[in-house]
Amino acid sequence: MRRIGILTGGGDAPGLNAVIRAVVKSALNQDGFEVLGIKNGFDGCLDPEGVIELTRAEVRGILPKGGTILGAANRGNPFARTVIRNGEEVVEDVSDEVVERIRELDLETLIVVGGDGTLRISLELFQKGSPIVGVPKTIDNDVGGTDVTFGFDTAVNTAMEAIDRLHTTAESHHRVMVLELMGRDAGFIALHAGVAGGADVILIPEIPFEFESICETIQSRAERGRRFSILAVAEGARPKGGQQIFKSAGDKLVQARLGGIGATVAKFVEEACGVECRVMVLGHLQRGGSPTAFDRWLGSRFGTAAFRLADKKSHGQMVSLQGTEVTSVPLEEALAQPKTVDLEGDSVRTARNLGLSLGD
Ligand code: F6P
């Protein structure tokens, strides 16, 4: 039997189950394959109960479900993991144990579904000799080497629906509503949802903003009789010459968590523009729920493409969407640079032509 493993690392994203199902189905539809699921990211490699066989029964009915049936872990970096030594918690590099476990499990290929962080770990494990194939996942859409990641479309739809709902209450109360959206250092969610939902101001990390410019937009709308405005603010947005705002600092084990820029913008709007303002942080709603058709479709295409790479033993590759075709790129190439909004690209031009303010 040729044995394939699959794990899902980092934060979850809608469409993960579509990928798992696609890997299992395409493997079992071909003679001579079996699939093992590793639970809770790389942590499952070090857990005696962290590995399960994935049969057709395990993946039945999971396509519409959000989250991941395998579980995920934010602290699952084997190169910096908390372990207990002599009764004390220490951070250690246990990557050799993970490489050894992959060998012990006799995995011909390990398919790793993850965002930037998890794929970076995968590249290092590949460089240590593990037979890895990567699948890019994240609602942030910030992984290089692919035009789109699955999870992004669902998050954008959720954010757009929030903007639609905020519109009616903002208009009724003649208020400004600020919606803080996820995305880390990339503004894709705010930009796409902002345009799709008809926001008036969109602030993204790639374009440091001027507070005064927000007031100008709000005031000029008021002069035209539009006494409400909607501001879509990416969590990573920052004012010109200022810093991003963090909810919590990172350390060796976890990434710093962005959050708070929405409240800062709202405070400024009330004080400096003299308009009543409310803020809403959409948060993890963007990660939850049933994946859209696009994310189920992309997840299914990525999963089957990952199986085809595994079948050919094309390790060190990541599946990728380029234009309308699913293909693959070396993990190293994909991770060379994180993807951010192209300031000269069509998305930004679209927003500007529509007369939306990007805060600059
Ligand atoms: O990368 C996905 C993401 O949802 C980001 O948009 C956000 O900044 C972060 O993860 C939140 O992480 P956590 O789930 O650890 O709060």
* Band of residue 108 on the pLDDT scale cut at 50, 70, 90: very high
- The CA R_g of the chain, rounded to the nearest whole Å, is 22
Cα–Cα distance, 17 to 23 (Å, whole number): 10
Segment 246-259 shows an average pLDDT of: 90
Residue 287 near residue 139, CB atoms below 8 Å: yes
Q: Which atom of ligand 1 is nearest to the CA of 287?
A: 4
Q: Tens of pLDDT along 117-167?
A: 999 999 999 999 999 999 999 999 999 999 999 999 999 999 999 999 999
pLDDT at residue 253 is higher than 90: no
pLDDT at residue 34 is higher than 90: yes
What does residue 211 show for φ and ψ, rounded to 5 degrees?
A: -55, -40
For 95: left if phi > 0, alpha if psi spans -120 to 50, otherwise beta; the answer is alpha
Segment 227-253 shows an average pLDDT of: 95
DSSP 8-state class, residue 150: B
DSSP 8-state class, residue 261: H
Q: In sequence order, what are the residues at sequence separation of 6 or more whose Cβ sits closer than 8 angstroms to the Cβ of residue 306?
A: 19, 22, 23, 111, 133, 135, 319
The separation between the first and the last C-alpha atoms of the chain, rounded to the nearest angstrom, is 59
Q: According to the model, what pLDDT value does residue 223 have?
A: 96
User: Angle at CA 151, nearest 5°, toward 208 and 37?
Assistant: 135
Q: According to the model, what pLDDT value does residue 57 have?
A: 98
pLDDT at residue 14 is higher than 80: yes
Q: Look up the pTM and report it.
A: 0.97
Q: In sequence order, what are the residues at sequence separation of 6 or more whose Cβ sits closer than 8 angstroms to the Cβ of residue 210?
A: 239, 240, 359, 360
Cα–Cα distance, 124 to 256 (Å, whole number): 22
Q: According to the model, what pLDDT value does residue 136 have?
A: 98
For 179: left if phi > 0, alpha if psi spans -120 to 50, otherwise beta; the answer is beta
103 CA distance to ligand 1 middle (Å): 31
With a Cβ cut-off of 6 Å, ligand 1 is lined by: 11, 74, 115, 138-140, 182-184, 235, 257-258, 287
Residue position matching structure tokens 């079992």 = 28
* Band of residue 84 on the pLDDT scale cut at 50, 70, 90: confident
10 CA distance to ligand 1 middle (Å): 9
Query: Could you give the C-alpha distances from 147 to 136, 232, 236, 284, in angstroms and in order?
Result: 10, 23, 21, 23
72 CA distance to ligand 1 middle (Å): 13
* Band of residue 82 on the pLDDT scale cut at 50, 70, 90: confident
* Band of residue 252 on the pLDDT scale cut at 50, 70, 90: confident
Which positions are annotated as active-site residues?
Answer: 140
Q: Where are the beta strands (DSSP E) in 163-314?
A: 176-181, 201-203, 229-234, 246-248, 257-258, 277-281
Q: Which atom of ligand 1 is nearest to the CA of 184?
A: 8
Segment 242-252 shows an average pLDDT of: 92
User: Angle at CA 14, nearest 5°, toward 184 and 68?
Assistant: 110
DSSP 8-state class, residue 108: S
Give the SS3 label for residue 177. Answer: strand
> How many other CB atoms are there within 10 angstroms of residue 260's CB atom?
16
Q: According to the model, what pLDDT value does residue 76 have?
A: 82
Q: In what order do the strands lie in the sheet with 201-203?
A: 201-203, 229-234, 176-181, 277-281
Q: Tens of pLDDT along 215-235?
A: 999 999 999 999 999 999 999
Q: Which atom of ligand 1 is nearest to the CA of 254?
A: 15
From 74, 182, 245, the mutation candidate for ligand 1 (largest count of ligand atoms within 8 A of CB) is: 182
Segment 88-98 shows an average pLDDT of: 94
DSSP 8-state class, residue 80: S
* Average pLDDT of every residue of the chain: 97
